[in-house]
Structures are given as C-alpha cells and as structure tokens.
Structure 1
C-alpha cells in the first residue's frame, strides 16, 4: 500500500504535471470509486482547475478553483498517470480527467481500493477521520502527548493514524529497527528517552524515503527493508530476522538488535 513517502512522490508528480489546466472531461469507469454521485464530480470539476495540493499522511488533497476540495486515497495499488493521447490510457485508469491542452490525468487503481471524494474543508476532514498532523510535520511534544494514555505495544501505536498520520506497516518496522526498539515494547514502559529515539527514527526514515523517492533498493545498507523477511540476516548482528503478527499485521524485527 502506498504510504507517506509514496504519496509524497505522487504529490510532487501532480504538482509538476496537472495543475492550472482547465478540466474539460471527467470519465469514471467504476462509480464505486467515487464517494459522491458522479453528477457532483462533474458539477464541481468540469470547467475548473486543480490549483494546489496538500498531503496529510496517506491522503492527498487537491484544491480546485471551484467550491470543493478533491480528496484522493490510493488504496493498495493506486497511483497517478499523466499522459497525452487517449490510446495511452492505462489499463487500470478507472478515473480520468481530460484537460483543455489535450492531456489526461488518470487515477490508476488496479485493485480498486482507492477512491475520490469531494469535501469543503481539510481541517474538518482531518477531525472527522481522527488524523494527527502529518508524521513529517509532527512535533515531538504532540507525538509524546499522544502516547501518554496508551496501554499497548509500540508497533500498534505507530500504525494508529491518530498518532502519526502516514506511517504504515513497513515504515513502522523500519522505524523500530532504526530506534533499536522491540515492536512488543509496551508504551507505558517507555521513558521519554525511548520515545525520543522512536520519534527521531521516524523522522529519519521519512526523510530518507522521500529523498530516495521510495525506491527501497536505494535506501542505506543498514535499513531493514533490504532484509525484511523471516530468516534473513540482521545487518548489525548477523542474527536471523524474526516475523510475528502484531495487531493482525506482519512484523519483522531483529531480536538481538531490538532487545526488550
């Protein structure tokens, strides 16, 4: 699933290709991907322009020159695709905007878990969906405060979008590996220094992933992503990576590097 770094890349891509162009057509092959009636999308997008983008976690908000803000969620396999001729429309481009210049913006969505919505306010959406500030922008004080009443393990907390919007499963594993924190460590047993280690590791992982355009093969050699599978060897200790289920999610860690 696209996580914070991937969606950041989509934001940059859209900013560089699809803004400030009048929308002349709106085509949707599967209206189940729309959170509002098709007629509402046509009303609020046709004749309008996409003017600027904002990302919070895994959600991408696109301000338009009309009354509504477009929300994109990429689900498991979603991604944007800007192309010229109709013959280039991607196979799974289920939603397509056509611009006055003849180019098209497709929302590729192979498994159809992604969706589009129209909203009035980003702040209201954020409150309704219980989102924290974006994990990249989150302050340490807010991060620490959100952990104060937690009574579960740190891996589960990191995946809570009310704590760190945008952090997904692989990122949580990587953050804990970089922080040398066991994923089963209970939050109530962590002191401020422990919390700061996790916070600093989160910021590090986010920035590295964005800098490398979420190309895992380009990550530093000591990143878990290079050996994130059961039985692989830890970069630091050469012990075997273990896999457990935490909160229903597959979790990978190095038992010698991330001791309880």
Structure 2
C-alpha cells in the first residue's frame, strides 16, 4: 500500500504536471471509486483548474478554483499517470481527467481500493477522520502526548493515523528497527528516552524514504527493508529476523537487536 513517502512522490508528480490547467472532461469506468455522485464531480471539476496540493499522511488534498477540494486516496495499488494521447490511457486508469492542453491524467487503481472524494474543508475533514498532523510535520510534544494515555504495543500505536498520519506497516517495522525497539513493547513501560528514540527514528525513516523516492534498494545498508523477511539476517547482530502478528499485522523484527 502506498504510504507517506510514496504519496509524497505522487504529490510532487501531480504538482509538476496537472496544476493550473483547465479540466475539460472527466471519465470514470467504475463509479464505486467515487465517494460522491459522478454528477457532482463533473459539476465541481469540469471547467475548473487544480491549484495546489496538500498531503496529510496517505491522503492527498487538491484544491480547485471552485468551491470544492478533491481528495485522493491511493488504496493498495493506486498511482497517478499523466499522458498525452487518449489511446495511451493506462489499463487500470479507471478515472481520467482531460485538460485543455490535450493531455490527460489517469488515476490508476488496479485493485480498486483507491478512491476520490469532494469536500468543503481540509481542516474539517482532518478532524472528522481523526487524523494527526502529517507524521513528517508532527512535533515531538504532540507525538509524546498522543502516547501518554495508551496502554498497548508501540507497533499498534504507530499504525494509528490519529497518532502519526502516514505511517504504514513497513514504515512502522523500519522505525522500530532503527529505534532498537521491540514492536510489542508496551507504551506504559517506555521512558521518555524510548519515546524520543522512536520519534527520531520515524523522522529519519521518512526523510530517507523521500530522498530515495521510496526505492527500497537505495536505502542505507542497515535498513530493515533489505532483509525484512522471515529468517532474514539482522545487519547488526547477524541473528535471524522473526515474523509475528501485532494488531493483526505481519511484523518483522530482530529479537537480538530489539529486545523487549
């Protein structure tokens, strides 16, 4: 699933391709991907321009010259595609906008878990959906306060979008590996030093992933992503990587490196 770094890359791509061009038509092959009626999308998008984007976690908000904000969520396999010839529409480009410069924008969505919505206010949407500040922008004080009343595993908390919007499963595993923290460490047993270690590791993982366009092969050699598999070999200890379930999610960690 696209997580914060991938969606950041999509934001950069969209910023460099489809902004400030007039939308002349819209086509949707599967209207189940739209959170509002198709007619509403045509009404509020066709004839308008997309002006700027804002990302909060895995959500991408696109302001328009009209009264509505377009929300994109990329689901499991979603991604943007900008192309010229109509015949070049991607196979899984289920939603397409056409612009007055004769180019097109496709929202590719192979498994159809992604979706679009139209909203009035980003701030209201953020509050209504219980989103924290974006994990890249999150302050240590807000992160620490979010953990202060929790009594569960740190891995579960990292996946809570009201705590660190944008952190998904692979990122949580990587953050805890870099922080040398066991994924089942209970929040109530963590010191402020532990919490700061996790926070700093989160910021580090986000920046490394963004700098490398979420290309895992380019990550530093001590990153878990290079050996994030059962019986993989820990960079630091040479011991095996183990796989367990935490909060129903597959979790990879090094028992010798991330002691409980």
Q: TM-score, normalised by structure 1?
A: 1.00
Q: Deviations over 1:119-155 (max 9, x none)?
A: 0000000001000000000000000000001010000
Aligned to 2:257, what secondary structure does the other structure show? coil
Question: After the TM superposition, which segments of 4 or more aligned residues of structure 1 sit over 3 Å from their partners?
Answer: none
Take 1:248 and 1:153, find their aligned partners in 2: how far apart are those partners? 12
Take 1:184 and 1:39, find their aligned partners in 2: how far apart are those partners? 47
Q: Deviations over 1:62-121 (max 9, x none)?
A: 000001000000000000000000111000000000000100000000000000000000
Matches of residues 95-106 of structure 1 in structure 2 within 5 Å? 95-106=95-106
Take 1:14 and 1:77, find their aligned partners in 2: how far apart are those partners? 17
Q: What residue is the counterpart of 1:115 in the other structure?
A: 115
CA RMSD of aligned residues (A): 0.3
Matches of residues 147-158 of structure 1 in structure 2 within 5 Å? 147-158=147-158
Does residue 1:163 correspond to 2:158, yes or no? no
Q: Deviations over 1:164-218 (max 9, x none)?
A: 0000000000000000000000001001000000000000000000000000000
Does residue 1:5 correspond to 2:8, yes or no? no
Take 2:224 and 2:184, find their aligned partners in 1: how far apart are those partners? 17
Q: Deviations over 1:14-52 (max 9, x none)?
A: 000010000001000000000000000000000000000
Aligned to 2:251, what secondary structure does the other structure show? strand
Unaligned runs of 5+ in 1: none
Aligned to 2:171, what secondary structure does the other structure show? helix
Take 2:151 and 2:192, find their aligned partners in 1: how far apart are those partners? 16
Residue 159 of structure 1 and its aligned partner are, at CA, apart by: 0.1
Number of aligned residues: 260
Take 2:214 and 2:36, find their aligned partners in 1: how far apart are those partners? 31
Q: TM-score, normalised by structure 2?
A: 1.00
Q: What residue is the counterpart of 1:68 in the other structure?
A: 68
Q: What residue is the counterpart of 2:254 in the other structure?
A: 254
Q: What residue is the counterpart of 1:173 in the other structure?
A: 173
Matches of residues 139-150 of structure 1 in structure 2 within 5 Å? 139-150=139-150
Unaligned runs of 5+ in 2: none
